[in-house]
Amino acid sequence: MPEKTENNQQAVSGDAAEELEEMYRKARAAFEIIKDWPQEKVDEMVLAAGWEWQKEENRQKLARQAVDESGIGVYEHKVAKVFTKTVGTLRDQVGARTCGLVRDDPEKGLKVFAKPMGVIANVVPCTNPESTVCCLGLSTLKTRNAMIVSPHPRTQGSTALTVELGRKALRKVGAPEDLLQCIAETSHAKTRELMSRCDFAIATGGAALVRVVYEAGKPAHTVGAGNVVSIVDSTVDLKATAAKIVKSKTANNAASCSSENAVALQADIYDEMLDALRAEGRYLCDEHERELLRKYYWPDGKTLNREVVAKPASFIAERAGIEVPEGTRVIMVTGIKPGPEDRFSGEKISPVMTVWKWTDFSEMVDRVGEILRFSGEGHSVSIHSLKEDRRMELALKTNVGRVVCNMGHTAANSGGWGSGMPTTDSLGCGTWAGNMTSENIDWRHFLNYTIMTTPIPEKIPSEEEIFGEYLKKWGRD
């Protein structure tokens, strides 16, 4: 029997420990080969991997296997997503310097040198078992790091295939293939052991995974749960806005943490916006149907039924015992109260949305804060408004890393062709969610820096320069 650790978690067997040690040894050897490579050679290696991952035939294979293994998501959407995430990541890297001297400031006498971290453990979710490898694989290669992937138990095959395609690309250009590796027959114990052996970790998952990652005792990037509320006011084109929201919500059957989980509609346009959403395939439950849905989603009153994750609205309605019109794409329920008393105010990871009504914008911003404190703080919010003061108020008052304005949320939040957000599948949620960063995690987050300083002319600031304005107002006493 495997041993138990001090915190009563199962440890890996001796054979598994040897397997992981051998993987780390090979990754470290590969890392030693490239750690001093020049930028041009690194960029060629990155482009080789990106080219292989974005090929149509490979994206189709990856998407097909991911859907078949997990039973969630939409094949066509996954095919498109692998392209967007791969090419979007490459676009963001154009011109980026990650090798050697990356900044020279003669005025301050500073030179900044970029250094790799070493071997990075990458814990991958079943919702994006292929595109997460592409995003982070390109980022770790760009920064001259090695990566060992721990796939989700449900999607080991699609993640392993993604890694193997990357290894093929590395061989083609003469780079060491062991810069990319994937654990076979993964388990929670193996994942924990992998993170403890590597030099750094990145884990894309919810709060429970965050705790496991930090228990491994290595520096790490983690992410948080999403629970996007999309505020809509009377200044926007309601028909166009409804189309954006429903398209975003139904992308990959709402598997993304960036999917809208609620809409908050201004009272003046409430009925009209519901009509616009109905035209796009939404169905609003009555009180009885809402209760049936609630019992199906949270059978024990608090734990989400994993059967609903990224399933079509028709599947959910049938299992919940609700009759919905043909062509229903999104099921909606009215919100009652933010917090555990109304589970519909939290993340649902499926084509179900909660609808709120507001008359006072500032009050609605406060309510969004309550909703996020229950579920999703640190992640993101959305607003459809032409009023800059409202967009600014939402950004200033809400504890999130991202505010998406007048766009479908999933098309913009983690990068997109019409969004300036950095491309990623891993969204940091800051200290609000126990994460190291609130940024979109990309190549910038896998570097160490060495700063060299040389003498510059000494200049001590005068009292007036530092304290002038303060002394004018408060005096010297």
Among residues 343, 370, 280, 352, which one has the least CA distance to residue 310?
352
Among residues 263, 430, 258, 223, which one has the least CA distance to residue 349?
258
24: region left, alpha or beta (phi > 0 left; psi from -120 to 50 alpha):
alpha
DSSP 375-444: TTTEEEEEEE-S-HHHHHHHHHHS-EEEEEESS-GGGTTT-BTTB-SPP-S-B--TGGGT-S-SSBPSGG
Enzyme catalytic residues: 257
- Spatial strand order in the sheet of 447-453: 100-105, 110-116, 447-453
Residue 127 · residue 259 · CB < 8 Å: no
Rounded CA-CA distance 87/51 in Å is 9
Residue 82 · residue 134 · CB < 8 Å: yes
Q: Which residues contact 77 (CB under 8 A, 6 or more apart)?
A: 251, 252, 253
Q: Is 466 helix (H, G, I), strand (E, B) or coil?
A: helix
Q: Bridge partners of 201?
A: 121, 220
Among residues 429, 420, 375, 435, which one has the least CA distance to residue 401?
429
Long-range CB pairs of 101-104 (<8 Å, 24+ gap) are: 102/449
Q: Bridge partners of 263?
A: 230, 355
CB neighbour burial string for 363-385, b if at least 16 within 10 angstroms, e if fewer? ebbebbbebbebbbbbbbbbbbb
Residue 30 · residue 181 · CB < 8 Å: no
Rounded CA-CA distance 378/352 in Å is 21
Q: Which residues contact 461 (CB under 8 A, 6 or more apart)?
A: none
